[in-house]
Structure 1
Amino acid sequence: MTGMTRLCQTGCILALSTFLAACTQNGVVKQGGDAESASGASLSDPITLHYYTNDNTKWLELEQQLIAKKYPNVTLKVTLAKDSTVDQLIAAGEIPDFLSFSLGSFWDMKNAGLISDLAPLMKKYRFDESRFIPGVMESVRSYSDSGEMLFLPFELNSNVLFYNKTIFDKFGVSYPLDGMTWEQMYDLARKVSRIDNGTEYQGFIFQHQNLVWKNQLGLPFVDPKTNKAAVNTPEWKRWLEVMGGFYFIPNNDYKNLTFYKEQTVAMWTGPNIVSSVIEAANAGLNWDVTALPQFAGSPAGGTQMIAPFYALPPGSKHKEEAFQLISYLLSDEVQVAKARQGKVPIMNSPAAVQGFAADLPGVAGKNMGAFLKDKIGKPAVVTKYDGIAKDVFYKTALGKDFYTRAKDVNTILREVEEEINRKIAETQK
């Protein structure tokens, strides 16, 4: 059920003068990479740390490589979520020292007792939270009623608008631009939603789950005072009418298509698919991106933060060492290494921004800076039932009854409200 990764055994002790040169006056490494203090635990001694994660991609491999180089005396015992569930892990007494998961798994981890307040360790090791880009810490604190720091996010899942230049060229339509609103997008989508020689071209489609989570209007899903759904409102009605309204454009009715496979979708947004798009370019996809459109006059000023996170279980046997490792994984060094391969940095790092996508093939001349324009908006009110509400909303509000116009918007929102409340009540029994 677990995978073992033995990290290499080389390294050296930094000279005192080098260490002091790298530190600020209060003893913190300037880039935030080494959160060690004279009185704290040290990663220079041999130690095994149990790491639980739902990431089994090249990014886990990159983390392992960087840790091996920085801390040769650290051995990672890696358990993948696909191999062992939370319940199985706890039943076996295998409490991890630290973990990383997507934000959608936060409440599962918290309900399982695998989340603790990081504030004391952040204070002890003088972790510089100002290194995060604006909006991150406010969003993190919104997950606790008492201002606890329950997790530290490590990258941004920024959205852009992907577009197929071939389709726009075919119909003589100008490309989308940075700074557009969703309302302005209607005219553009209409111009490229066509049937030509028997081929139907979709003007714009989007990944429903992602845009619901992004919640650009900053609206609550659940009322924290009543634990009842808060989606049957004029504000959510506007969101549904604007975003769902794209499927009412002639020849742009909802279809389960992918941007890079069929290559008949003119514009698309959702999770970052740049690696798939780069691969599809070898098969003829002529693509580019613009910044994610916003709602006209959006009060939130951006999207809700969706970011994978690191956390420390309260039962960790090596919380201090694990926190030091997390601090390193949030350093400029690691942020730059990931940014060069296309991960959007979450830290305020000029070097990471400058190097963004530098090692990705096939992006020369593309508007890759658009990925850095998806700002974090004011956080919506967060409750432990949000996952239920979001799941029901994107599946039901944007479901078949909506895009086939079988039911009107008011009826759909009322039914979504009822379904959310029913599911919340089930968890309270």
Structure 2
Amino acid sequence: MNKRLIVLSALIGIGGVSGCSGPAQQSAETGGTGKEQAQAGRSAPTEPVELSVFSAGGTQNEEFEKNYAELIKKKFPHVTIKYINPRDGEGNKFENLILSGVNIDLYYESIGTFFSTLSRNKAQYDLSSLIKERGLDLNRFEPTLIDAVRKNGKGEIWGLPVTTNGMSLYYNKELFDKFGVPYLKDGMTWDELYETANGLNRTDGDKKIAGLAISPSHSMRMNVYSLPFVDPQTMQATFGNERWKQVLDPILAPAKESAYRAKMDELEGKLPYSGEWLKKQELAIFGVFSDWQVVSPTPVPFDWDIAAYPTNKEMPGIGSQQYPVYWSIPAFAKHKEQAFEVLSFLVSDEYQLALSKRGGMTVLNNPSIQKAFGQDSPNKDKNLNAAYYNKFAPISPKTDFEKTAENAITNKLVDLAYGRTDLNTALRQATEEANKEIQAASR
């Protein structure tokens, strides 16, 4: 993820959990079904135990303590959490920890490399038996999140989603007001959005204003067609699929306007991005993770709002894919039963409701928890329901070479935007470059 987009994002603080009901009480807001499901069946041992938790993304130590460790220890006083952060040194890399025989009871990572990392290190463990024993109902989850686990795990359940994200549109209402352009509304098509954005490509004094930018990495990874970068059957890049032209259109369509390309010139040949929206206020609309500013500790310095991600005419009501973070219990974990009890808590209605209120998107298919999105944040009066306005597209399959192929096409975007190369040529070159790297790495 681009450093300019690093916020609390998927790893949300759940400070409000301390006020939630205990296991014997039923939440008035959720009916208590999630906790009952999560705690049904045989209980885990309650003797004192230390659980080691590894974050592949390197969650900051203080964030992990606030977002997870404190809440787990409050819920389970007999559990001590030891956090292993790969940022703390080469010895803390997952592969090196395995070679050193270090125990890891819980492992979490975003979907892009979650499955490939586990399989590459032979660390995958099917949670199906524990799920059945504890009576954890997978129907509580948003369906695409569980479908993705089953497909990538070849029918096995290698992990459970704890946090997730979708795509939405952030827009600067002050720029809309200045140029007399109607605000965005939920349910727009891409063509309608392009028309609106073209009216916002303006010169305002010495400032060049761009109407629309969509985060390239997020929009490609979470595309509505569920296209993977690499076909898991052939291990070849998929850019030969004609749908990739539609996937790239939201990134490239704004650059058809000369005023937009003038903005790129000003940015020394770069596409407008988050800094132009948030800091410079020279970008009217930015498509990005739904929780981007909902969870940010720093207030946005202008009037803004959110709208639902646009849809294609041929796929009405279908928005982006989700990009979840999955938690797993590695095959070599020493305390699987206790680790699963902690994992069950993280997917309970109790935890997920508090997460949603703080501004994190829930992994549960529970309307009341979804409607609570951001209600304890300073941005509760924004159109936060836009995050759930559309249905989510199925999540595309993942391989070891997602980033390899993504980089190959990303490197073509500026030339495409300027018209220095055509789309067919760029897709062909990206295919050749990605396949060459994949082949070399697979030898």
TM-score bracket for the superposition, by shorter chain length: 0.7 to 0.9
Q: CA separation of 1:300/1:378 partners in 2, compared to 1, >3 Å: closer, same or farther? A: farther
Pairwise CA distance, 1:274: 0.9
Partner SS, residue 189 of structure 1: helix
Mean Cα displacement is larger for which, 348-357 or 72-81? 348-357
Amino acid at match of 2:191: E
Which residue of 106, 127, 133 corresponds with 1:118?
A: 127
Name structure 2 gaps, 5 residues minimum: 1-20, 27-31, 265-270
Cα pair 2:34 2:348 within 8 Å, conserved? no
Partner of 1:11: none
Which residue of 250, 254, 267 corresponds with 1:246?
A: 254
Partner of 2:322: 305
Per-residue deviation, residues 124-170 of structure 1 (Å, max 9, x unmatched): 2221101102322112212123x111121112212210000010100
Partner of 2:9: none
Considering fraction of residues, name the structure with more helix: 2
**Structure 2 CA distance, aligned partners of 1:204 and 1:176?**
12
Matched, 1:410 2:412: no
Partner of 2:49: 47
Partner of 2:267: none
Give 1:183-332 correspondences, 5 Å limit: 183-253=191-261, 254=264, 255-257=271-273, 258=275, 259-271=277-289, 272-275=291-294, 279-281=298-300, 283=301, 285-298=302-315, 301-332=318-349
Partner of 1:359: 376
| TM-score normalised over the length of structure 1 | 0.86
Cα pair 2:113 2:399 within 8 Å, conserved? no
**Structure 2 CA distance, aligned partners of 1:243 and 1:72?**
49
**Structure 2 CA distance, aligned partners of 1:413 and 1:162?**
29
Give 1:87-236 correspondences, 5 Å limit: 87-106=95-114, 107-145=116-154, 147-236=155-244
Per-residue deviation, residues 200-250 of structure 1 (Å, max 9, x unmatched): 001011211111111112224333332222212221123223431222223
Pairwise CA distance, 1:183: 1.9
Matched, 1:426 2:430: no
Mean Cα displacement is larger for which, 164-173 or 294-303? 294-303
Per-residue deviation, residues 55-107 of structure 1 (Å, max 9, x unmatched): 22636513222212211110001111222211332233213111112222312
Cα pair 2:374 2:380 within 8 Å, conserved? no
Q: Superposition RMSD on alpha carbons, in Å?
A: 2.5
**Runs ≥4 residues deviating over 4 A:** 275-278
Pairwise CA distance, 1:30: 4.6
Pairwise CA distance, 1:187: 0.8
**Structure 1 CA distance, aligned partners of 2:63 and 2:363?**
19
Partner of 2:4: none
**Structure 1 CA distance, aligned partners of 2:317 and 2:404?**
22
**Structure 2 CA distance, aligned partners of 1:299 and 1:167?**
28
Partner of 2:405: 389
**Structure 2 CA distance, aligned partners of 1:140 and 1:29?**
23
Cα pair 1:29 1:35 within 8 Å, conserved? no
**Structure 1 CA distance, aligned partners of 2:165 and 2:320?**
10
Partner SS, residue 87 of structure 2: coil
Cα pair 1:32 1:327 within 8 Å, conserved? no
Q: CA separation of 1:266/1:59 partners in 2, compared to 1, >3 Å: closer, same or farther? A: farther
Amino acid at match of 1:408: D
**Structure 2 CA distance, aligned partners of 1:99 and 1:381?**
20
Pairwise CA distance, 1:276: 7.4
Pairwise CA distance, 1:392: 2.6
**Structure 1 CA distance, aligned partners of 2:194 and 2:38?**
49
**Structure 2 CA distance, aligned partners of 1:164 and 1:218?**
29
Q: CA separation of 1:300/1:236 partners in 2, compared to 1, >3 Å: closer, same or farther? A: farther
| TM-score normalised over the length of structure 2 | 0.83
Q: CA separation of 1:371/1:268 partners in 2, compared to 1, >3 Å: closer, same or farther? A: same
- Seq. identity, %: 28
Pairwise CA distance, 1:277: 6.5
Cα pair 2:48 2:78 within 8 Å, conserved? yes
**Structure 2 CA distance, aligned partners of 1:187 and 1:240?**
17
Amino acid at match of 1:375: K
Pairwise CA distance, 1:377: 1.2
Partner SS, residue 203 of structure 2: strand
Give 1:6-21 correspondences, 5 Å limit: none
Which residue of 58, 62, 67 corresponds with 2:67?
A: 62
**Structure 1 CA distance, aligned partners of 2:402 and 2:317?**
18
Cα pair 1:98 1:312 within 8 Å, conserved? yes
Partner SS, residue 152 of structure 2: coil
Cα pair 2:320 2:392 within 8 Å, conserved? yes
Pairwise CA distance, 1:324: 1.2
**Structure 2 CA distance, aligned partners of 1:30 and 1:87?**
35
**Structure 2 CA distance, aligned partners of 1:278 and 1:51?**
25
Which residue of 373, 378, 383 corresponds with 2:394?
A: 378
